[in-house]
Chain A
Amino acid sequence: MDRQMEYVLSTVKERGIRFIRLWFTDVQGFLKSFAITPAELDIALEEGISFDGSSIDGFSRSYEADMLARPDPSTFQILPWKGGDAGVARMFCDIVTPDGEPFPGDPRYVLRQNVKRAAELGYSFYVAPEVEFFYFEDSSPEPKVLDKGGYFDLTPLDVAQEYRRTTIDALEQLGIPVVFSHHEVSPSQHELDLRHTDAMTMADTIMTTRLTVKEVATEHGIYATFMPKPLESVDGSGMHLHLSLFQGDENAFHDPSGEYELSKVARGFIAGLLTHASELTAVTNQWVNSYKRLVGGFDAPVFETWARNDQSALVRVPATKKGKIDSTRIEYRSPDASCNPYLTLSVILAAGLAGIANNYELPPEMGSDVLAMSPTQRRDAGVRHIPHNLSEAIATMEGSELVREALGDHVFEWFLKNKKREWARYEQHVSRFELEQYLPVL
């Protein structure tokens, strides 16, 4: 028993914790949880708690059903909601087989492998997300907005600021610093910008943030959703990711003598993202609905280009504030907050590292001018469109050795199978569009 485990056991005793929730994430990014009592905590920490993996999406097949959830004591945290005196804590778990081997279908393991690869090259990977979401009155299929507020609006239109404030308090208590939050462009839409952490911590943090946002909404009798495009006529919810690589104390993306102060590493990373963007998209935008957000006219990227300070590019390079070289970073703008963060950060990191390792050439900067070009001009300039739909994204991913390697065979194959099934179901669906457009006239 190491000191971290002792720390957990002692804190549970001293603070009167009655339940410990063990959290893990399935392949599609749904948070799974089961609770144990303090009496079982010793065993959980030493050996793990066994559960039936065949009932979890993307986990084991039924003949290899037994899995162990082994809590990671470094993630032990008392949960701030439910009154405060409830005495509930949580830990994220690593999933292992009964032999104690890491289970390759565990998204946390997948990301850990990718982060390790970066560490072997001397890099640590830092991420700061902008998490967007909507508040609705409930989860019924007819979304009812709470307000008609807009970007940065304050009262009286922004009735939800109380929910946002409660959410931020809860996040801060969970050790998740919020840089700022504001009302987003669309009615009832909100954004939380989180402070950067290393990728592994951030993936856990995104899972915690999604749950916290939803818990606080539920406490207030409303509903929060990270669905990418719930309202047809307004901007959808994305999760822009601010990315940087550090070598020790040095920001590897910064070079004072480089063009735009970008280092060779940064240029390679961007080139890697652009080269492989289409292959990653099924992971970063994993639902049928994700592609309803990635259309022109709604502040979402559509073409696989990079630019400084241009909201339409897939990769944006924010200006580095004078003297703030640590903040040199790039922003990857296509992902949405309903992705699996472990897998999303895995494929993004793998693409960036591939660009560095293979010295990919960074294409010229291209901002909103790309929107004015004709399809032929774009083709001649080598500008690709982000996959138009889930089907296209799956097909592109299927041919990607890079994504296969980043996710591992198990997750790669299960993911494709599952997403093909989702697309097949969607293809059979008769939409409201069809009924409204065709039924009256055909």
Chain B
Amino acid sequence: MTSPTAYVAVFPESSSPSLTGALLSAGFRPVPVSGVSDAGAKEPEVGWAAVVVEIGRDPDVALAVASKIREELAAAVLIVLDRTLSGDLIDRDGFDDFILTPIDATELRIRLARIGSGLGSVPDADIIRYEDLELNTGTYQATIAGQPKDLTYMEYELLRFLVENPNRVWSREQLLSRVWGYDYFGGSRTVDVHIRRLRAKLGEQRASWITTVRSVGYRFG
């Protein structure tokens, strides 16, 4: 996925467990919404990656909600349709794509990726981005503005942990146990050493991504 977490609004709130399961295994975070205004209220800062509307016993209500969300929140809408009812929808609009039950997680992921915002192409689960920083978790490469950065393994792992867990303060001990593991006896000042190196390698303009929280620890973002 392009961002660490892609939120997907799901209507109705009591959607089928198979849909929720498929969304989770496709790497999305489903958020149940009760209607258009609820979808607006719950919208995350990054916006909805997409909205999924399950067409149940009352297709007209569901399709009305779908089309309204699409209009008002400018979000892409995928509808989930019982195979036996698909014929009734030939002339309807108000959605971007549809998928038939039973749901296949891979198909769901591809369809959402095609229509979803910021999902661009097929989701690339290997890339983590922050501004112009890219961490490729498949190849362990870090680039800034497209330029490769020489990071040691621990520098890479520390940066990755911070980028994946932004906007909260981590103590040195927490970072040591989460990133280095328990068997390291270099001590918690090692964290300071690596933060300093990371800042140096990120360069002056980006060094401030990592802030020192006095007598507590560090925060990213």
> Interface residues, chain A, CB within 8 Å of chain B?
3-4, 6-8, 10-11, 13-15, 73-78, 115-116, 118-119, 124-126, 172-173, 175, 177, 195-198, 200-201, 246, 248-249, 326
Contact = CB atoms under 8 A, between A and B. Distances in A.
A437 to B, nearest CB: 51
B170 to A, nearest CB: 13
B190 A8 contact: no
A427 to B, nearest CB: 43
B200 A177 contact: yes
B135 to A, nearest CB: 12
Interface in B152-181: 152-157, 171-173
B196 interface: yes
Contacts of A326: 189
7 contacts: A11-B140, A14-B140, A74-B154, A124-B187, A173-B150, A175-B197, A197-B190
Nearest to A79: B150
Label chain B's interface by main secondary structure. Answer: helix
Interface residues of B, number: 25
B193 A74 contact: no
A172 B149 CA distance: 13
B53 to A, nearest CB: 40
Contacts of A173: 150
Nearest to B183: A119
A62 B154 CA distance: 38
Q: Is the interface of A mostly helix, strand, loop or mixed?
A: helix
B188 interface: yes
Nearest to B171: A249
B193 A197 contact: yes
A124 B196 contact: no
B17 interface: no
B141 interface: yes
A74 B194 CA distance: 13
Nearest to A198: B186
Contacts of B152: 74-77, 175
B21 interface: no
A342 to B, nearest CB: 15
Contacts of B200: 172, 177
Contacts of A125: 187
B139 interface: yes
Q: Which of B141, B148, B156, B185 has the most CB of A within 10 A?
A: B185
B191 to A, nearest CB: 10
B185 A11 contact: no
B84 to A, nearest CB: 48
A198 B196 contact: no
A75 B139 CA distance: 18
Contact of A126 (B139, B154, B187, B201): B187
A246 B153 contact: no
A2 B151 CA distance: 18
A78 B201 CA distance: 14
A7 B148 contact: no
Nearest to B138: A10
B140 A10 contact: yes
A76 B140 contact: no
A404 B154 CA distance: 34
A15 to B, nearest CB: 7
B153 A4 contact: yes
A246 B154 contact: no
Interface string B60-86: 000000000000000000000000000
Contacts of A6: 140
B148 A124 contact: no
Contacts of A246: 187-189
A73 B152 CA distance: 9
Contacts of B148: 14-15
Nearest to B198: A175
Contact of A249 (B139, B173, B186): B173
Contacts of A177: 193, 196-197, 200
A124 B140 contact: no
Contacts of A78: 150
A285 to B, nearest CB: 27
A75 to B, nearest CB: 8
Contacts of B190: 124, 197-198, 201
A196 B185 contact: no
Nearest to B199: A177
B173 to A, nearest CB: 7
Contacts of B186: 124, 197-198, 200-201
A73 B153 contact: yes
B123 to A, nearest CB: 21
Given A246-B188, A249-B172, A10 B141 contact: yes
A7 B185 contact: no
B106 to A, nearest CB: 26
Across the A-B interface, give the 4 residue pairs with the lowest CB-CB distance, nearest first. Answer: A124-B187, A119-B185, A198-B186, A7-B153
A119 B186 CA distance: 8
A124 B150 contact: no
A74 B172 contact: no
A15 B150 CA distance: 9
A249 B187 CA distance: 8
A249 B218 CA distance: 14
Given A201-B186, A249-B172, A175 B155 contact: yes
- Choose among B153, B156, B193 the residue with the greatest number of A CB atoms under 10 Å from its CB: B153
